[in-house]
Structure 1
Amino acid sequence: MTAAENPPDPAGRPGETDPRFALMDLAMSYLFPAALRAAAVLGVADHLTGGPRPVAELAEAVGADPLNLYRTLRLLATRGIFTEDDAGRFALTPAAELLRADVASSFRPAVLMLTDRTFWRPAGELATTVRTGASAFEELFGMPFFDHFARDADTAAVFHVGMAAMSDPENPLIARACDLPPSPVVVDLGGGHGGLLLAVLRDHPDARGVLFDREHVLAGHRLGELGADHRWDLVAGDFFTEAPPGDVFLIKRILHDWDDEQCARILRHCRRAVSEGGRVLVVDAVVPPGNEPDPGKVIDLLMMSSLTGRERTRAEFEALFAAADLQLTRVIPTGTRLSIVEGVPAQ
């Protein structure tokens, strides 16, 4: 290849415009989440709250090999997670601050969830999933995703605490975007520990809430933070077999876990339980058309590799709603990566 065919880039690195280098970088990009997980597991950020520290001192504090810790943090610093000064000391950055376990907005549980082996290992078998149309999760773990969580308390805790950390920053924005009727009964279907319902009840003082999930999940609920226990109830159950009555159903990050048939079953239970004039609010990513990057297109492969679900387009949500005798009325932006897909009983 001649110099004319392979010109140097402006930074003076010959060949960097060659698309093969872009492919090589992409092929190795999994090492960034691997390094991020290592830093989160070791609790590195918690040991930098007093300011920059030499890597040898930091390694002793977290129980790590100094050279390997340095190499890991050096890579993360290229993405703005930690920073190294001229003396070889590492310090926190705004992103690294969120890895501290002792801050109210800690994102560490979300990082540990998203890089957990329950997502990581099936992603490594994506070629098999693409070929067969089935997730590799059951073959790797001996049972479907949510059955594994129900039987493994430690993994379930990683999942639910991680989901809460990922959801807490977006829940107030989603709650504000919810267009609710006066004095509604709001059912948070499969609502986990109740973070979204808590935000909705705070934002809509005339609303009453019902948190509906499996009994072992409800045990960790947070609705007591509201300070008004008369405004909410806990109802244990399975959304594949029933839904409690209500005026508004919130279904956040639930439908993307399941295939179309299972989603239609969930929505049909909501359709039967919703009051006259009520509505169903599905809070999920809505995948846009075209070739532009979108977070929903990334999470879609997470769903494909570990579960049976998918992220959906507006047209795909319309088809799901129609299968449950619901009519999609609008898609409401929330200022987050999720939208509210609103449905009402079909006329």
Structure 2
Amino acid sequence: MATSPHRPTGEPRDLTAHLMDLAMGHLFSAALRTAVHHRIADHLAEGPRTVEQLAGTTGTHAPHLRRVLRCLATRGVFREDAAGAYQLTPAAQQLRTDAPDSLCAAVLMATDQLFLRTSAAMPEAVARGGASFEWIFGAPLFEHLLSDPAARRLFDDGMASVSARVDEAVAAACAFPANGTVVDVGGGRGGLLRAALRRHPQLTGVLFDQAPPLADHLLGGDELKGRWRTQEGDFFESVPEGGDVYVLKHVLHDWPDEPCRRILRSCHRAMAAGSRLLVVDSVLPPGNAPHFGKTMDVAMMAVLDGQERTAEEFAALLSAAGFRLTRTLPTSAFPSIVEAVAE
């Protein structure tokens, strides 16, 4: 009878297997990508199916598909029942293309060669400093995306996918005013602004970003008609004036400290004294406890030379740009809300 590779305390019993499992983690990512590519979750939406049935409807090789699904089931993505059929788990539900919180586009983005090659070059990034993405592709990420429409679409679709649930969680946790104007700085397609305007019918909003994401914004329809506008620009230079609340969601983690200070100073110049700034990013806890932000921190280092930050690091960054950190609010998703006041 096989024994568990982990001791009751959580310490691995077989350190070799544990470390090799970590070293081969890219294979799990590839299995996840394979399941999304062949829309396995879509084919399980109506109930369990055998691998042979799945292979028949997806045009895949049944023995290989079985091995991929068996691997994914070890981590709670799909589950094999006693009859040998596979079924959806809560995690696998998010791999359905028709799920409201579908992560299909996010998985395809995260497992694309664009980022796999960047991660593989991490030893060089650590040796030299800076982002390995720029050495591989010849330009920083956002500059590269402007010159590669397919990569831009992949990135924008992926970010919109991972943001959907986060946007609702942040809108629910933020203390938006009953009325006034929210300026979403670097807001992408506007998922967070849409969620905020839906929750607060008297609010108006400005979605501020570059042209490509604005072209596919999510603010259309009668529900929000007349309550928003888009504005194209560069947040390093200036941001729209006249807002009551300014939001930076997943913006500061893209950059080292000095560019962040430039962004924050742009916001400060546009804001009246006492106006609020909401920074939505992971806030790293101390110690060795797992936290998704610690994984994202390494990704930001390799891709953008950015970083996730602790509460103390946010306080110092904000203070240097004329803000005072007032509180940090958790959300039901992985990021927190760092609230600051313009002084």
Task: Identify whether the pair has TM-score above 0.5, normalized to the shorter chain.
Answer: yes
Residue aligning to 1:341: 338
Structure 2 residue aligned with 1:215: 211
- 1:305 aligns to 2:302 (yes or no): yes
Classify the secondary structure of the residue corresponding to 1:208.
Answer: strand
Code of the residue aligned with 1:82 in structure 2: it is: F
The letter of the residue matching 2:294 is K
Unaligned runs of at least 5 residues, structure 2: none
- Spell out the pairing of 1:27-38 with structure 2 (5 A cutoff): 27-38=23-34
- Specify whether residues 113 and 13 from structure 1 end up closer, same or farther in structure 2 by C-alpha distance, changes over 3 A only: closer
- The whole-number CA distance in structure 1 between the counterparts of 2:41 and 2:171 is 31
2:73 counterpart of 1:71: no
Structure 2 counterpart of 1:267, one-letter code: L
Which string of whole-angstrom CA distances, capped at 9 and with x for unpartnered residues, describes residues 228-264 of structure 1? Answer: 3211111111111110011211000010011111111
**C-alpha separation in 1, matches of 2:336 and 2:100:** 25
Match of 2:147 in 1: 151
Alpha carbons of 1:178 and 1:11: their partners in 2 closer, same or farther (altered >3 Å)? closer
Q: Where do 5+ consecutive residues of structure 1 fail to align?
A: 1-7
Q: 1:91 and 1:335, CA in 2 relative to 1: closer, same or farther beyond 3 A?
A: closer
What does 1:111-122 correspond to in 2, within 5 Å?
111-122=107-118
| Structure 1 residue 62, shift from structure 2 partner | 2.1
Matches within 5 A, 1:89-108: 89-108=85-104
Give 3-state SS (helix, strand or coil) of 1:234's partner: strand
On the 8 A contact 1:202/1:226 being kept in 2, the answer is no
**Where do 1:44-63 residues align within 5 Å?**
44-63=40-59
Larger Rg computed on CA atoms: 1
Percent of aligned pairs sharing the same letter = 48
Query: Residue 343 of structure 1 aligns to a residue in which SS?
Result: strand
For residue 87 of structure 1, report the CA deviation from its aligned partner.
4.3
Q: Match of 1:284?
A: 281
Name 1:293's counterpart in structure 2: 290
> Where in structure 1 do 4 or more consecutive aligned residues deviate above 6 Å?
none
Q: Distance in 1 between matches of 2:95 and 2:124?
A: 33
Question: By how many angstroms is 1:279 displaced?
Answer: 1.3
C-alpha distance in 2 between matches for 1:72 and 1:10 = 23
* Bigger mean CA deviation after superposition, 160-169 or 211-220: 160-169
| Cα distance in 2, alignment partners of residues 12 and 91 from structure 1 | 26
AA of the residue aligned to 2:321: A
Whether the 8 Å CA contact 2:205–2:228 is kept in 1: the answer is yes
Contact 1:193 1:222 in 2 (8 A): yes
Provide Cα deviations, 1:7-49, integer angstroms capped at 9, x if missing partner: x9955999x7243332122222222111101111121222223
1:260 and 2:266 are equivalent in the alignment:
no
Of residues 259-268 and 145-154 in structure 1, the stretch that sits farther from structure 2 once superposed is: 145-154
SS in 1 for 2:25: coil
Residue type of the alignment partner of 2:123: A
Contact kept? 1:118, 1:306, Cα under 8 Å:
no
> Residues 85 and 266 from structure 1, CA distance in 2 versus in 1: closer, same or farther, beyond 3 angstroms?
same
Say whether 1:138 aligns with 2:134: yes
Residue 195 of structure 1: CA displacement?
0.5
1:326 correspondence with 2:323 = yes
**In the alignment, does 2:188 pair up with 1:229?**
no
> Aligned AA for 1:63?
G
Letter in 1 for 2:329: I
Indicate the RMSD between aligned Cα atoms, in angstroms: 2.1
TM-aligned CA deviation for residue 97 of structure 1? 2.0
Q: Which residue of 1 aligns with 2:81?
A: 85
Q: Does 1:160 align with 2:156?
A: yes
SS at match of 1:186: strand
Q: Which residue of 2 aligns with 1:314?
A: 311
Whole-angstrom CA distance in 2 between matches of 1:226 and 1:320: 40
The Cα shift of 1:155 comes to 1.9
